[in-house]
Each structure stands twice: as structure tokens, then as C-alpha cells.
Amino acid sequence: MKSSNRSDKAIQTAKSLRTLYFVRTAFSVVWITLLSTFVKTNSTIAQILFIIYPAWDVFATWLDIKANPPYTSKTPQYINIAIGILTTFGVTLALQKGVPEALMVFGAWAFIAGLIQLVLGLRRRKELGGQWPMIISGGQSMLAGVSFVLLAHSPTMGINSLAGYSAFGAFYFLLSAIRLTKTIKAA
């Protein structure tokens, strides 16, 4: 009976995460579209979008916490929320100095958030399956974080790379959602 109960909870978690991943994909598509539209024509809107991205990640991480059963450790997600909040404020403050400073803050966040995503994907792969896109995405986010810091002194190139970063994230969330659908159907 315990095994069945745990299996039911794993299925419910997979369903909740699948929904969240589809929502994250949709958000990213809208965000990319807006950023691509305004990055060269309206720097104020582009900067607001720059700030919104880590703030959205905080909210999405909170939803991730809610999707998980009570018996799982949520420490990585809480750390991610704290770092995301600090990043949101950090990007806001850094933008007052300039785009290069904001890209450096964003890059540090992308690296740390990627590391957390990598750890979560590795932890979840045994119970839920379908986590390889999240594992790859976490590693790629770490590399992107380093790239943002290196591109910080080329602000136009750096801001444009934010859309690519978000596009890869959307792609991996979509793959994970599809993979979780297979996990749910197999149960």
C-alpha cells in the first residue's frame, strides 16, 4: 500500500510539474517576443523585461515547491527563491549604473540557478524520470551565466543573448513537460 501511495504522489507531482513546465514555456515565448521587439526600440521596456525575468523565476520556483509532496526536501528551491529575489533587486540597482553591471548580476544568477536546476534534475530523475532536459538545461544555464559576465562589456550583444538564454530554457521546459507526459501515461 505504501508503494502505491508513493506512486500516486509521484504521478501527482509529475502532473503538477508538467503543467508548470508548460506555463514556463509559454511565459518564455511571450518574454522572448517582447524582448526581441523592444531591445532596440525602447530601452526602458527592455530593462523592465530584464528585471521581470528573475522575478518570474522566483514565482515559478514557488509554484515548483507547491507541486512537490511534503516529504521531499525543498531546500534547493528555497535557496533559488532567495537568490532570485536578490537578483531581481540586484539587476534593478545595477541597471542604474549600466547594462554591463546588470549583465554581470544576471550572469551570476544564471550560473547559480543553473547549478540548482542541475541538482534538482539529478534528484528527481529516479522518482519521476524525464529529467534529462532539466539536467542539460542546468548545465547550459551555468555556461550561459559565465557567458553573460564575459559579454557584459558588449551590452547590445549581451542583452540580445538574454532572448537566446530564455529560448533554450523554454525548449528544455517543453521537452521536460513532454517527457513527464510519458511518465504519467506509463504509470
User: Average pLDDT for residues 129-158, to the nearest whole number?
Assistant: 84
Percent of the chain with pLDDT over 90: 53
Summarize pLDDT for 52-79 with one digit per residue, the tens.
999 999 999 999 999 988 888 889 899 9
Give the domain range for residue 64: 2-186
**Chain centroid to CA 27:** 11
**Chain centroid to CA 92:** 19
Number of structural domains (the chain) is: 1
What is the rounded CA–CA span in Å between residue 87 and residue 182? 35
Strand, coil or helix: 126: helix
Helices 43-67 and 99-128, interaxial angle, to 10°?
Answer: 20
Summarize pLDDT for 87-127 with one digit per residue, the tens.
999 999 999 998 889 999 999 999 999 999 998 888 888 77
Q: State yes or no: pLDDT of 1 exceeds 50.
A: no
Place of cell 513537460: 177
Place of cell 521596456: 45
Q: State yes or no: pLDDT of 3 exceeds 70.
A: no
Q: Mean pLDDT score of the chain, rounded to an integer? A: 88
**Chain centroid to CA 185:** 25
The residue among 4, 113, 105 whose CA lies nearest residue 64 is 113
Summarize pLDDT for 126-139 with one digit per residue, the tens.
776 667 888 998 99
Is residue 159 within 8 Å of 50, Cβ to Cβ? yes
Task: Write phi, then psi, for 59 (nearest 5 degrees).
Answer: -65, -45
Q: State yes or no: pLDDT of 6 exceeds 50.
A: yes
Q: In this predicted structure, what is the pLDDT of residue 161?
A: 80
Counting every residue written for the chain, the total comes to: 187
Is residue 117 within 8 Å of 83, Cβ to Cβ? no
What is the rounded CA–CA span in Å between residue 146 and residue 167? 17
Alpha-helix runs per DSSP H in the chain:
2-38, 43-67, 75-97, 99-128, 132-151, 155-186
Is residue 168 within 8 Å of 33, Cβ to Cβ? no
